Structure 1
Amino acid sequence: MVNHVTNTRSEMPRNEPAGPFDVERPLPSASTGEWGSDVAADMLRALDIPFVALNPGASFRGLHDSLVNHLGNENPQMLLCLHEEHAVAIAHGWAKVTEKPMAAIVHSNVGLMHATMAVFNAWCDRAPLLLVGATGPVDAAKRRPWIDWIHTAQDQAALVRPYTKWDDQPASAQAAVESFLRAFQMTSTYPKGPTYICLDAGLQELRLDERPTIPDVKRFGPAMSGGPNVEVVNDVAQRLLKAKRPVILAGRVGRDETAWDKRVQLAEALGAIVVTDIKVPAAFPTTHRLHGAPAGTFLSPANAALLREADVILSLDWIDLAGTLKSAWQRDAVSATVIQVSGDQYVHNGWSMDYQGLPPADILILTEADATASLILDAVTRLNVAPAASWPARTYAVPLPEMPKQIKIGTHVDIPLLAAALAEAVHGNDVCLIRGPLSWAGHLWEIEHPLDYLGIDGGAGLGSGPGMAIGAALALRGSGRLPVAVFGDGDFMMGSTAIWTAVHYRIPVMIVVANNTSFFNDELHQERMARQRDRVVGNKWIGQRMADPDIDIAMVARAQGATGIGPARDLLELRRCLAEAVAAVQKGQVVVVDARVLPGYDANTTQSMQKTAG
């Protein structure tokens, strides 16, 4: 039985705010003097930071006051979150759409410890993010008994230094000006990533004798990416034009439509097959005749076969190029010429292995993929030579899943059927699929625009889904796109209280929870261990299943003011639930659908996972 009890907009006051900018308007406040935290707030405004997501804390009570009573809670506006991990995840989701930093503020060492997983996600995803924290007072004489001592650290940034680009703890208001300028510049410069500023509580609450100078922030913008020299570009263009089996690996690229169009033009000018990756946002239209086999979290056997046929491979900031080539060639030497375009090594360090293996590269171009692809296209056009590519005529595409012609009561839903039902429900809308669950596969959703799909979280943990969905939905407001996210029940439950923020600030979003009542990926690992050790496979569910009691996910959503729909236990119920959900989000609601799905993965996904399992 489907529970359709909802918190609809008709139940709210008729004079409800229209959006996030209309929520939490402060009373006018006359300012008395200048305070250290006012400078930090002024810098956030000067840097054009629209929102700061936060969970409140005493360590930044000065900054909190400055944002409200000095700036009037606008430009930037606070977004209250129920957990620091949500605050950072929302800023991360915003960056995935806009490619610009939003700010998150975390309380002291304890708040930063809560936030670390989300910071690591943003780092692995190379997302710009301005993280502000607080400590202290650094001056021990000013600390309150007990609480200020346990919330003060000698080197607080050490908690996140291995997975941030830069950090600072300014000792004066004037120094804070430069800290914010540098943090913004560095987080916005390719390769992007989070930066962290720790503000001393004593500095925030210091009354200033004079206002520090704030320069023109336009003179401190991000560095431009340097391109390769003309000789290198021409060499690459000639090699690609002479290639009979050229392949482009389209990895970390931007949301810019012009750059998207140039990637398509480059592939067409070369006759190159393009392989994509669902770990990152949309990079190439999956409906294009030159798109390879459907993308997956891991390299599929079909795409591995394509790479083995290739004689020249152009890698555009591909994640884990070494692992991908190893998956294709196994123990053999890579026979293709490899051209690697990526400046990612500029942020590699010895703590995190997110840099992956060291790939062989005949030409290594340390710069941004989009800019270099544009230069290569220009060179190919100038050369005006017919490409030598001669890929055999064949179809790499896998048909999208279709709805059965006859649907019976009790028809169970797997992930392909969920994708088909979702496509049916959103038909006629421009949709941004913010993310899919681990069981998602590239052939389940067509991609024709850089905002059609936003990839995953970067760090491959759990709990980021709701926050990132909300941040992306916030960035998509006014775009005409329907924000839709699909993720698992484990991800939802770890991050479920992020939903309150979306409801409170009127950020419409549609979340579909692919609920298999299990941490199923780990069931597969337990099955693998049991088979390897000749033990009972039937015990794999123990310590994995989220049942007895069954979790009412729709109720979790309704408890926070969202529209909760479900559980939808068969295909007929799911179709009705998704249709209702689309109508609700179009009216401005936050909607969560509990879609019960069978445990399992798409065949292509399963084959890829088996090959990489070890």
Structure 2
Amino acid sequence: MSDQASNQTRWGSDVVAETIRALGYRYIALVPGSSFRGLHDSLVNHLGNADPAMIVCLHEEHAVAIADGFSRVANEPMAVALHANVGLMHAVMTIFNAWCDRRPILIIGATGPIDAHARRPWIDWIHTAKDQGALVRAYVKWDDQPVSAEAAVESVLRANQILRTAPMGPAYVCLETEMQEARLDRPVRVPDVARFRPPAPPAAAPETVAETLAMLRAAKSPVLLFGRVSRDGEDWNRRVRLAETLGATVLTTLHNASCFPTEHAMHPLAPIGERPTPAESDLLRRADLIVSFDWHDLAGLLRARLGEAQTQMPAEARIIHCSLDSYLANGWSMDHQALPAADLPVLADPDRFTAQLLRALDEEAHWQKPAPLVPDTNHWARNAPLAADPNAVFDAEQAAFTLAAFAREHEVTFARLSFGWPRSASRFRTPLDFLGKDGGGAVGTGPGHSIGAAIALRESGRLTVGVIGDGDYLMGVNALWSASHVKVPLMIVVMNNRSYFNDEVHQERVALQRGRPVENKGIGQRLDDPAADIIGLARAQGFAGGEPAGSVAALLERLNEGARIVAVGGRYIIDARIAAGYGTN
């Protein structure tokens, strides 16, 4: 603690700050506000702006997005402070996004005095709500509004315990202003926080493990679907060993972070994207057992690939579905997706379930491996390009192959990948190669996610690269100031087709359905006249950048230049001027 912390006088917010520190939070992202001025003072003058250290942001959305990106790497939450009702309203989109991502975040809010007599005219009235947590209650795991220092200690302890308990998600604690600013006339202690730690993720029942093994033993064509699983290297290795021991085919998805080596022999198809492919449909039709390890949309996957009219009648194969996600379904949001059919539901953490299956398999004298569903000669990686075609149109596909080739020569973490990233450019070999999509479908989160990941990877030696669309970038560009402020090394590549192109695709579909002019699809979508200065906007936030890249050669030149700058602690922006279109891979 700072010198001031030795002073015997303590305030309500001092106790809250001490509790956050005791729980091990290293950072707190915030936009300052008067409603938590007491806590702000405690963080600075009581704790010395360390553990947690402040990450100052220019918008509350960015604060939450940075915390989301951090947790994707660090396997621990970041704290966020939001000012009153207005700061919370600024942040609701990214809170919902973190909820859909199942990311743990400790969100500290604040409200004006509950006692109306204590409110300053005008400002305290408009920054006070009777039930501020109602703004986010449908998409946080828990919320509270303590009105004493003792209650605040318990509230922060409980929030931390809940948000770190699988399935994880954000929690919100709203601090009343007078409680923060009250001088304490009594001892209020922070207890041993180890006695309030979250429980271990639940394992499957022994009889469930035995039934799973019996179904796997009887299967001739088993398929393992790995979805929302951990970034831990040991868990990664166990997934590989499970697939190799069983001889089972593996599928993964670009919705989630890399969780299995995509070039492995047991991963014969490129990671699943938005649109079904004939190869995916054929493989799933021939499977006689599908084991889902928290696949985020199992029913939707099978319906889309198997062409069934009704979601709940999707597959002849027997299905085992391991997930804890049903604990979070609340009826307000449909992020729980369609209801999947399952012959054996497994209410357990998918990584613990994997470990249990491996232990049981170790006791098997012999395991008869099935014939592969896809011959090795047809493995996707054998036929996918290893580099871009310099003679092809420079579009999202060719830019992606350029980035993928660059990543094979550097230790790159792709914090985000933009729309149009081809599946066949997805050669992921470690748990940190790719950190997953934006789970809530929000726009403007790519810069924040990339910054949070870069903070978590600061001492790792890895090069953090956020590949984001121009629309996503322009909505979140001022988040880059925070990266410069905390001097975190980072590279951002903007796939710049000068359009909200995903919506052009939608407008084209509607026009075709209605027999209307397809050529009008770009009206109200294009980001030109004037074209946004992608590089200039980043330079204004402290980033370096060269000329826009309009070819494979130019992009590779910018990537190498950026790598040199980031290697010495800098930040670099690339404007990849790609043609409209998403390609076919």
1:214 correspondence with 2:190: yes
CA contact (8 A) 2:546 2:558 kept: yes
- Select which of 192, 199, 203 maps to 2:175: 199
Structure 2 equivalent of residue 585 of structure 1: 566
Question: Residue type matched to 1:312 in 2?
Answer: L
Note the C-alpha offset of 1:602: 3.2
Question: Secondary structure of 1:207's match?
Answer: coil
- Select which of 457, 460, 467 maps to 1:486: 467
CA separation of 1:50 and 1:333: change in aligned 2, threshold 3 A: closer
Question: Residue type matched to 2:235 in 1?
Answer: A
1:72 correspondence with 2:72: no
Note the C-alpha offset of 1:546: 0.3
CA distance in 2, matches of 1:441, 1:349: 34
Structure 2 equivalent of residue 181 of structure 1: 157
Structure 1 equivalent of residue 343 of structure 2: 362
Structure 1 equivalent of residue 234 of structure 2: 258
Deviations 1:378-428 (A, max 9, x none): 1122123322412242423144434467x47xx641122212322344443
Deviations 1:303-331 (A, max 9, x none): 22211110000000001111111112222
1:306 correspondence with 2:306: no
1:347-426 pair list within 5 angstroms: 347-392=328-373, 393-394=375-376, 395-398=378-381, 399-403=383-387, 407=390, 412-426=393-407
CA contact (8 A) 1:99 1:127 kept: no
- Select which of 566, 572, 575 maps to 1:594: 575
CA distance in 2, matches of 1:216, 1:27: 23
CA distance in 2, matches of 1:426, 1:239: 40
Structure 2 equivalent of residue 510 of structure 1: 491
Deviations 1:531-557 (A, max 9, x none): 100000000000000001011110001
Larger mean Cα displacement after TM superposition, 580-589 or 102-111:
580-589
- Select which of 282, 287, 301 maps to 1:324: 301
Percent identity for Structure 1 against Structure 2: 49
Question: Secondary structure of 2:409's match?
Answer: coil
1:51 correspondence with 2:34: no
CA distance in 1, matches of 2:230, 2:94: 21
Deviations 1:31-54 (A, max 9, x none): 461111101110110001000000
Structure 1 equivalent of residue 554 of structure 2: 573
CA distance in 2, matches of 1:117, 1:387: 49
1:235 correspondence with 2:216: no
Question: Residue type matched to 1:585 in 2?
Answer: V
1:145 correspondence with 2:116: no
Question: Residue type matched to 2:291 in 1?
Answer: L
Question: Secondary structure of 2:492's match?
Answer: strand
Question: Secondary structure of 1:323's match?
Answer: helix
Note the C-alpha offset of 1:445: 2.8
Larger mean Cα displacement after TM superposition, 143-152 or 288-297:
288-297
Structure 1 equivalent of residue 535 of structure 2: 554
Structure 2 equivalent of residue 115 of structure 1: 91
CA contact (8 A) 2:416 2:437 kept: yes
Deviations 1:244-279 (A, max 9, x none): 110000000001111111111111111111000111
Question: Secondary structure of 1:224's match?
Answer: coil
Larger mean Cα displacement after TM superposition, 106-115 or 235-244:
235-244
- Select which of 5, 8, 13 maps to 1:37: 13
Unmatched 5+ residue regions in structure 1?
Answer: 1-24, 605-614
Question: Residue type matched to 2:109 in 1?
Answer: G
Question: Secondary structure of 2:230's match?
Answer: coil
Question: Secondary structure of 2:129's match?
Answer: coil
CA contact (8 A) 1:426 1:582 kept: no
Structure 2 equivalent of residue 436 of structure 1: 417
CA separation of 1:114 and 1:98: change in aligned 2, threshold 3 A: same
CA separation of 1:527 and 1:299: change in aligned 2, threshold 3 A: closer
Note the C-alpha offset of 1:567: 1.5
CA contact (8 A) 2:5 2:47 kept: no
- TM-score between both structures, scaled by the size of structure 1: 0.91
Question: Residue type matched to 2:531 in 1?
Answer: D
Note the C-alpha offset of 1:89: 0.5
Structure 1 equivalent of residue 324 of structure 2: 343
CA distance in 1, matches of 2:282, 2:387: 30
CA distance in 2, matches of 1:561, 1:404: 31
CA distance in 2, matches of 1:270, 1:585: 42
Question: Residue type matched to 1:93 in 2?
Answer: G
CA contact (8 A) 1:31 1:69 kept: no
1:4-19 pair list within 5 angstroms: none
Unmatched 5+ residue regions in structure 2?
Answer: none
CA distance in 2, matches of 1:304, 1:127: 31
Deviations 1:465-494 (A, max 9, x none): 000100000000111111111010000010
CA contact (8 A) 2:2 2:47 kept: no
Deviations 1:520-576 (A, max 9, x none): 000011001111000000000000000010111100011111112331122332222
CA distance in 2, matches of 1:449, 1:458: 21
CA contact (8 A) 2:141 2:328 kept: yes
Question: Residue type matched to 1:558 in 2?
Answer: R
Note the C-alpha offset of 1:110: 0.3
Deviations 1:356-380 (A, max 9, x none): 0111000001110000011012112
Structure 1 equivalent of residue 515 of structure 2: 534
Question: Residue type matched to 2:320 in 1?
Answer: I
1:501 correspondence with 2:482: yes
Note the C-alpha offset of 1:27: 9.4
CA distance in 2, matches of 1:597, 1:514: 6
Structure 2 equivalent of residue 450 of structure 1: 431
The alignment's C-alpha RMSD in Å is: 1.7
CA distance in 1, matches of 2:554, 2:369: 53
Question: Residue type matched to 1:472 in 2?
Answer: A
CA distance in 1, matches of 2:491, 2:468: 11
Question: Residue type matched to 2:283 in 1?
Answer: L
Note the C-alpha offset of 1:30: 7.2
CA separation of 1:258 and 1:181: change in aligned 2, threshold 3 A: same
Question: Secondary structure of 1:281's match?
Answer: coil
Note the C-alpha offset of 1:295: 1.5
- Select which of 132, 137, 141 maps to 1:165: 141
Kindly indicate whether structure 1 or structure 2 has the higher relative contact order, using CA contacts under 8 Å at least 6 residues apart: 1
CA contact (8 A) 1:466 1:495 kept: yes
Question: Residue type matched to 1:601 in 2?
Answer: Y
CA distance in 1, matches of 2:272, 2:580: 18
CA distance in 1, matches of 2:7, 2:543: 37
Aligned residues: 577
- TM-score between both structures, scaled by the size of structure 2: 0.96
1:453-464 pair list within 5 angstroms: 453-464=434-445
CA distance in 2, matches of 1:32, 1:80: 29
Larger mean Cα displacement after TM superposition, 55-64 or 231-240:
231-240
Note the C-alpha offset of 1:219: 0.9
CA distance in 1, matches of 2:408, 2:260: 21
